[in-house]
Amino acid sequence: MKKYKSKNRLNPSEYIDGILKGDRVLLSRAITIIESNLESDKILAKEIVQAILPSSGNSIRIGITGVPGVGKSTFIEVFGKHLIQQGHRVAILSIDPSSQRSKGSILGDKTRMEELANLEEAYIRPSASGDTLGGVSNKTGETVLLCEAAGYDVILIETVGVGQSETAVHGMTDFFLLLMLAGAGDELQGIKKGIMEMADMVVINKADGENVRMSQMAKRQYQNALHIFPQSESGWSPVVSTASAIKNIGIDKVWNEIKKYKKLVLENGYFIKNRNHQQIQWMYNNINEELKQLFYGSTNIKSHLQTLEKDIIEAKISPVKAAEKIIGEFKNSFEKNSK
């Protein structure tokens, strides 16, 4: 393997050629550039992404979420190894909006999935850090494109815990998988209706030993719950299945259902329609993030915000009026600079 000096930036063409050849070192370094907040790296990242764009998109993107304790890491590792045995190359990415605060709470990814991480056909990348979920999502979206260009034809994007990141993952994937447990009190386990509604497949994991009977009962309950939701635009009816990642039971069934789904949505046109919608939504997300940075990055705005915060606390101005005032100032300064 070719060696590169770790801190030196290469020419854009070196990253691009390396990615297209499936060089994991250059892929990792290019992703680091995408995650960087340096202006010079942002310019370089845009050039790399633009260049590899025609070579991206040739994968199935699968979102995976699950309740705490469901065995998500074990499931992903066993599932990933199954895919590799089927001849696929697999990239595992994560969305963790808390990673900025925890300084990478899932840096243990590679140790959690040690067997998978050691396989040449697998690539595991912890979540990008970001001040906002939108910022993390945009960086993950670009990472997906780079992994596809590097030859990974199955992209698994996992959420960390159950919370705010499901919608973001759903918005950048083709198929959404929800991992659940049987017999954990309330069968719906506090899962928000919206998350259930997003699921293309519900897998009840740890369906082994004494859990088999309870898992079958839970399966029927989830099937009944999913019937309440309206038919998806994709034409797909969500599937409920049981599995045991630790015993390697039911993993092939999960992949077979995903293949059925892909066949259906490719034939009825929904696959492309959904991808196009996601791309356009991604543009709007980027606009929102750029505007936020432009607004909060202004020295004048920062100074005025501090004054307004003080005025709100002292009841000199209402929060609504304060927001109107600061946005008015921002618009005026923007219009003045654009003349």
For position 163, what pLDDT does the model report? 62
Confidence of residue 100 (pLDDT cuts 50, 70, 90): very low
For position 191, what pLDDT does the model report? 63
Q: How far apart are CA 164 and CA 296, in angstroms?
A: 23
CATH topology of domain 57-266: Rossmann fold (3.40.50)
Question: pLDDT tens digits for 145-156?
Answer: 999 999 999 999
3-state secondary structure of 90: strand
Q: Specify the range with the lowest mean pLDDT, choosing from 66-75, 233-242, 247-256, 310-319.
A: 66-75
For position 192, what pLDDT does the model report? 66
Residues 6+ apart with CB under 8 A from 209: none
Confidence of residue 134 (pLDDT cuts 50, 70, 90): low
Q: How far apart are CA 105 and CA 126, in angstroms?
A: 9
For position 106, what pLDDT does the model report? 45
Kindly report the average pLDDT of the chain as a whole number. 88
How much of the chain, in percent, has pLDDT values that exceed 90? 63
Cα–chain-centroid distance for residue 300? 34
For position 69, what pLDDT does the model report? 84
Confidence of residue 103 (pLDDT cuts 50, 70, 90): very low
For position 177, what pLDDT does the model report? 96
How much of the chain, in percent, has pLDDT values that exceed 70? 86
Instruction: Report which listed range, 64-73, 95-104, 109-118, 250-259, is most confident.
Output: 250-259
CATH topology of domain 1-55: 1.20.5
Question: pLDDT tens digits for 114-128?
Answer: 899 999 999 999 876
Confidence of residue 333 (pLDDT cuts 50, 70, 90): confident
Question: pLDDT tens digits for 311-321?
Answer: 999 999 999 99
Q: Specify the range with the lowest mean pLDDT, choosing from 46-50, 105-109, 143-147.
A: 105-109
Question: pLDDT tens digits for 171-210?
Answer: 999 999 999 988 754 445 556 677 888 999 999 999 999 9
- Which ranges in the chain belong to alpha helices (H)? 12-20, 24-35, 39-52, 72-85, 99-102, 109-112, 114-117, 133-149, 166-170, 193-198, 211-227, 251-268, 270-296, 299-313, 319-338
The mean pLDDT of 90-99, rounded to a whole number, is: 79
Indicate whether 47 pLDDT > 80: yes
For position 326, what pLDDT does the model report? 95
For position 185, what pLDDT does the model report? 47
Q: How far apart are CA 45 and CA 35, in angstroms?
A: 9
